Amino acid sequence: MRIFPSVRHPSGRLPDNNDSALKYYELILENNHPENFRSLPLPEGFHFTTYEPRDEEAWISIETSAREFVTRKEGLEAWQRYYGGREKELPGRMFFIETKAGNKVATATAYYEPADSSKAGWLHWVAVRREYQGRGLARPLIAQALTRLAQLGYSSVKIPTQTNTWLAASLYLDFGFHPFGPNREENMEGYRILKTLTNHPALKDIEPADPADLWDMENVRMEEILRKEHPDLIHYKVWKEKGMLSYLTKAGDFEADIKEFLFFHGSEKRI
């Protein structure tokens, strides 16, 4: 896997592994041979644990560190949406990686999607704390959850991901996943973006997108404004379905209405 040298954010930076400036497309990947999944060893100094009551705070903290959320409120909303009232199902399905000191630094869940009539297993919410990324934790974590889904008897497994988390999507392709047919047809442009970012061999029959067409220019605009106003900006998320922008600086986390934010900064110079 490699990034094409021509792929740059309009400001000149490389794409982040969770990049809100990329055009958003939901991608669903599928693997119909879970019997082939195999566990992988963790690096020395780490071990797996499974969910225990009140671990939701650790889950939110990890997902926030991995830039899935900006605020704790966003994390709580996601927890309630996916796992609220079903916590008794999580032991043996939701996994964490812990350090020797007992600090939880990564998580993934071997779950399901109630609305999916195919009864496939679903890999949910894979995340590694930002400061622990690059230490060889992601592949064993993914393998742990996938082998658990195989043990639970699922004959196929799906993974919901998106163009913004393109590096994670590339890892899933490494595990033998491929675009789910109906989703591929509906969101082909998203797979073209993924092809440009990764050049993954599993996407060999998909034409790459033009590097200039990867970026959501409204989001690029908001990032430009945020970085100008907040030199200490850490990261931001754009929630278009809610019409909200959230962002984190060293001073704390903040929210803004997207329309009001852009209107207020309408006279600002564009990239």
Evaluate whether residue 63 is within a structural domain. Answer: yes
CA separation for the pair 136, 43 (Å, rounded): 7
Evaluate whether residue 71 is within a structural domain. Answer: yes
CB 58 within 8 A of CB 96: yes
Query: How sure is the predictor about 7, in pLDDT bands with cuts at 50, 70 and 90?
Result: confident
Evaluate whether residue 268 is within a structural domain. Answer: yes
What is the largest distance, in Å, between two alpha-carbon atoms of the chain?
A: 58
pLDDT at 4: 53
The answer to whether residues 59 and 155 belong to one domain is: yes
The answer to whether residues 42 and 146 belong to one domain is: yes
- Collapsing DSSP to helix, strand or coil, 167 comes out as helix
CA separation for the pair 265, 28 (Å, rounded): 36
CA separation for the pair 68, 166 (Å, rounded): 13
User: What tens digit of pLDDT does each residue of 25-76 get?
Assistant: 999 999 999 999 999 999 999 999 999 999 999 999 999 999 999 999 999 9
The answer to whether residues 48 and 109 belong to one domain is: yes
The answer to whether residues 124 and 168 belong to one domain is: yes
Supply the range of the domain harboring residue 231: 216-271
Average pLDDT, the chain: 94
The answer to whether residues 98 and 147 belong to one domain is: yes
Evaluate whether residue 15 is within a structural domain. Answer: no
The answer to whether residues 125 and 71 belong to one domain is: yes
Contacts of 217 (CB under 8 A, 6+ apart): 10
CA separation for the pair 246, 74 (Å, rounded): 10
CA separation for the pair 251, 230 (Å, rounded): 10
Mean pLDDT of 153-178: 96
User: What tens digit of pLDDT does each residue of 202-259 get?
Assistant: 999 999 999 999 999 999 999 999 999 999 999 999 999 999 999 999 999 999 999 9
The answer to whether residues 118 and 240 belong to one domain is: no
Evaluate whether residue 13 is within a structural domain. Answer: no
The answer to whether residues 178 and 46 belong to one domain is: yes
Structure tokens at 18: 């969770």
Evaluate whether residue 260 is within a structural domain. Answer: yes
Contacts of 237 (CB under 8 A, 6+ apart): 20, 67, 69, 70, 74, 245, 246, 247
Evaluate whether residue 89 is within a structural domain. Answer: yes
pLDDT at position 6 over 70: no
The answer to whether residues 81 and 164 belong to one domain is: yes
Number of domain units in the chain: 2
Query: How sure is the predictor about 3, in pLDDT bands with cuts at 50, 70 and 90?
Result: low
The answer to whether residues 181 and 230 belong to one domain is: no
pLDDT at position 111 over 50: yes
Contacts of 267 (CB under 8 A, 6+ apart): none
pLDDT at position 1 over 90: no
Domain boundary residue, one of 149, 169, 187:
187
142-170: b (≥16 Cβ within 10 Å) or e: bbbbbbbbbeeebebbbbebbbbbbbbbb
Evaluate whether residue 206 is within a structural domain. Answer: no
The answer to whether residues 233 and 180 belong to one domain is: no
Residue type, 118: S
Contacts of 175 (CB under 8 A, 6+ apart): 31, 37, 142, 143, 146
Query: How sure is the predictor about 267, in pLDDT bands with cuts at 50, 70 and 90?
Result: very low
The answer to whether residues 257 and 162 belong to one domain is: no
Q: Count CB neighbours of 216 within 10 A.
A: 19
User: What tens digit of pLDDT does each residue of 192-205 get?
Assistant: 999 999 999 999 99
